Amino acid sequence: MPEPEPLAAGRPLAEPARTVDVAVDLSQGAAAGALAGFAASAVMNGFQTLVTPLFQPTGAGGPPATEVAAQRVSVLASGARLGDGDRQAGGTAVHYVVGTLTGSLYGALAEVRPGVTRWQGFALGLTAATLVDQLAVPLTGLARPPWRYTLRTHLYGYASHLVFGFVTEQVRKVLRERLARKESAPAEAVTLEDVSVPLLLGLANGQRTFTPPAAVTIAAAGSGLGLEGTPLALLNSKWTGALLGAAALGEYMMDKQPGIPARIAPAGLAARAVGGALSGAAAARPGRAWLAAGVGAAGALAGGYISYRVRMTLARALGRDRPVAFAEDALSLLGSAAVAGYAALRQSQRQEREAAARQAA
């Protein structure tokens, strides 16, 4: 009976590594696509402003679908309708949210189905115009049936989405190439990931003081962030995660109470900066903790001011603060969990590669 191949003993280690690689690629693709979709939404707005006199689109007697969607969200969240100025701002926000989410889905799909990027992104534009503008929007009652609009209006919609698809693909491709180059960069080089991960955690810390540290701690206690033997090794403890998680829940409840000091007060900003520094340092790759701590703290300060202004504006438009507060809770929680989970995946990938290198040696 022939002896089994020596390589077979190493295959169980190779399969988890492949799974982690795929998960990291999907995460990076989704992030690159989201940024690309946001940028493309801005370019699409500018394009529409330029070509509106040429196409002369008509609204079939109704407001834009994005404004109708914003109005529905307002009524659902607060029971109040938006004023004209707020409705237009809400429509713009819906436009960017949909563009960002579309880009994120497209970026993730491009990692596993490269064919979706065909025709330099024009395939995305055609698909979005057909599935969203021509089908989904009328079916949900956000716009009139397609036959109620002029041919010029349909051409205007398709041209706008072709621009969106093209810009999304070009920006996504540049970002993915930059992320791919970091794999071969010298270990001492500062990469895009070294800055973006702590920055995103810091921005989330600007919204909620304890949520990002809790998310990072839970990731460290579960999957591991390579904190053993460092001053942050305490974050590997499940008890630390439970304590910070309880603090985050308490903050969610206190945030809804009247008389709470503003987050832009010195004490609030200081606490958020400390949380951003802690989260960023814990999620950093080895050797980049101090850089990540600084970026995380700066992101928390910026996030504190930005989220405060956005919350005040939305609360004024809706006439109620509580729906905005719950939405902010969800955004901080989901964003922190996503970034902390990605950091844990990257650490697992580094460990798998180090194990494979030792095995090969």
Residues 137, 209: one domain?
Answer: no
Residues 264, 156: one domain?
Answer: no
Question: Which among 194, 330, 207, 216 has a CA at the least distance from the CA of 279?
Answer: 216
Residues 287, 235: one domain?
Answer: yes
Count of C-beta atoms within a 10 Å radius of residue 330: 10
Residues 202, 70: one domain?
Answer: no
Residues 226, 89: one domain?
Answer: no
Residues 167, 74: one domain?
Answer: yes
Residues 171, 306: one domain?
Answer: no
Final residue in a domain of this structure, among 183, 207, 238: 183
Residues 266, 289: one domain?
Answer: yes
Give a yes or no: residue 218 inside a domain.
yes
Cβ–Cβ < 8 Å for 317, 71: no
Residues 23, 146: one domain?
Answer: yes
- pTM tops 0.85: no
Give a yes or no: residue 29 inside a domain.
yes
pLDDT at 315: 86
Q: Which domain holds residue 84?
A: 14-183
Residues 255, 301: one domain?
Answer: yes
SS3 letters for 179-238?
HHHHHHCCCCCCCHHHHHHHHHHHHHHHHCCCHHHHHHHHHHHHCCCCCCCCCCHHHHCH
Give a yes or no: residue 2 inside a domain.
no
Question: Which among 342, 202, 208 has a CA at the least distance from the CA of 281?
Answer: 202
Residue matched to tokens 């970002």: 175
pLDDT at 70: 85
Mean pLDDT per segment of 10 residues, for the chain of length 361 residues?
41 54 86 94 93 77 80 80 80 90 94 90 93 89 84 90 96 87 65 87 93 91 76 84 91 87 90 94 87 94 94 85 88 92 84 75 67
pLDDT at 206: 92
Cβ–Cβ < 8 Å for 71, 87: yes
Residues 216, 179: one domain?
Answer: no
Residues 171, 229: one domain?
Answer: no
Cβ–Cβ < 8 Å for 224, 347: yes
Residue matched to tokens 């958020």: 272
List the structure tokens of 141. Answer: 């009652």
Q: How far apart are CA 223 and CA 212, in angstroms?
A: 16
Give a yes or no: residue 4 inside a domain.
no
CA distances to 112, 211, 303, 345 from 333, in Å: 27, 6, 14, 18
Number of domains the chain is built from = 2
Give a yes or no: residue 6 inside a domain.
no
> One-letter amino acid identity for 165?
G
Give a yes or no: residue 3 inside a domain.
no
Give a yes or no: residue 5 inside a domain.
no
Final residue in a domain of this structure, among 183, 205, 220: 183
